[in-house]
Chains A and B, each alone.
Chain A
């Protein structure tokens, strides 16, 4: 009876494979319990947490040469890269980078050359991030197949009114760049 169990068949096949899969399963269970993303151990929640109702929503709007860019029409990963890197840029400007905080919490300010080297590989410097507007211009130029002379990125706020999104008039300029 027990011979039919996968775990028994695995043990009989290879002790190394058994150990490998056991470690994988244990790691998966541990990180799922902790709720921590740790490649290749992913917690698969898929919108399991309660989603609270919201009246006000924010939307990142990218204007290329003063024209609103409909990035939802771009291929999914390109759209994701645009939105995610802009979000990162916004957090960077606000001094709210998770890796930077985590580094300082764990190791303090990097002192030695080695620490500085590793830190620079995890958190971009201000000099590096200053190239972001130009990099983004080139990225959009390729993705949208259109010349980019200027980029203006706004974070606009909207409210629901009769199932329609209406601007509240509140907005923040995240980036205003002219080539």
Chain B
């Protein structure tokens, strides 16, 4: 079955049935790895690679114990002090992602990729004094491919739950910490978030848009409430998969919205669209006569 056939079949307004979970995992794996390759290419373009940071004298582990432990091991120091090792690591990650896309058995490739990506992430963030949270989405969406059969299915489901947790947690934070009840909350956020844009690029369309929002507190605060509602609706993902497609569209809108409103590139978060869009509704346990084979039924709600 080619990927085109698979898409054609997936579009049918009925149950999508295959008889071999590793085959399903392969096609979803192709999608995940294709997304990963695009993300890595974007990271090269945006400078989120070790070779751009080589020899950086800055070290900032922040309050993060994992950063402290990994930095204490000395591995990030060895990496950052050697421009050649930096290049090798960056190229290896891209090569592993391509290998993961091509190969039918991705278990070893995924493990190696995740270990290397973990070291690269800690090194990049410590030596550029930053901490990005959405990078976890890459780990969570790749993790299922470290396993096969039922374990793959469970972790694929887990990725979907994790996304729901992230969004709902954020919505609850707005209630718990009081951001939602603060007067002119979004206006105040926009003012502090875009000072640089207003001073360094005052005449761009984007700056004009932001200034318009700052001068219209009702509009900007409505957008804050809208973002809160978009996040809160993900609570349904804990109880039903019937609106997963709507949630997928909401997630994409959320990522686009955060770029235009906040200039935050949540591209890593887009990886989570896949476990949401291709959520598994029904799973039959392994039959005795087909030990390595499982049956997965992915329900398409169209």
Contacts and interface: CB of A to CB of B under 8 A. Distances in A.
Interface in B166-201: 166-167, 169-170, 173-179, 181-182, 184-185, 187-189, 191-192, 195-201
Interface string A24-51: 0000100010001111101111111111
Which of B65, B154, B176, B177 neighbours the largest number of chain A CB atoms within 10 Å of its CB?
B154
Contacts of A143: 47, 52
Contacts, number: 203
Interface string A76-117: 111011011101110000000011001000000000000001
Contacts of A178: none
User: Interface residues of A toward B: which range?
Assistant: 35 or more
A75 interface: yes
Contacts of B147: 17
Contacts of B283: 9
Interface in A10-30: 10, 13-14, 17, 21, 28
A71 B167 CA distance: 31
The binding surface of chain B is classed by DSSP as helix
Given A37-B62, A57-B195, A48 B130 contact: no
A169 B300 CA distance: 62
A76 B46 contact: yes
Contacts of B26: none
Given A50-B185, A68-B200, A73-B201, A163 B64 contact: no
A38 B187 CA distance: 30
A132 interface: yes
A39 B179 contact: no
A84 B201 contact: no
B61 A81 contact: no
B191 A57 contact: yes
Contacts of B48: 77
Contacts of A88: 58, 60, 129
B176 to A, nearest CB: 7
Nearest to B173: A48
Given A40-B136, A85-B129, A121-B74, A98 B200 contact: no
25 contacts: A10-B158, A13-B154, A21-B158, A37-B64, A37-B131, A37-B133, A40-B136, A42-B136, A46-B174, A51-B182, A54-B192, A57-B195, A59-B199, A71-B200, A74-B47, A77-B128, A87-B129, A99-B60, A99-B61, A102-B63, A121-B72, A122-B68, A131-B57, A163-B211, A163-B215
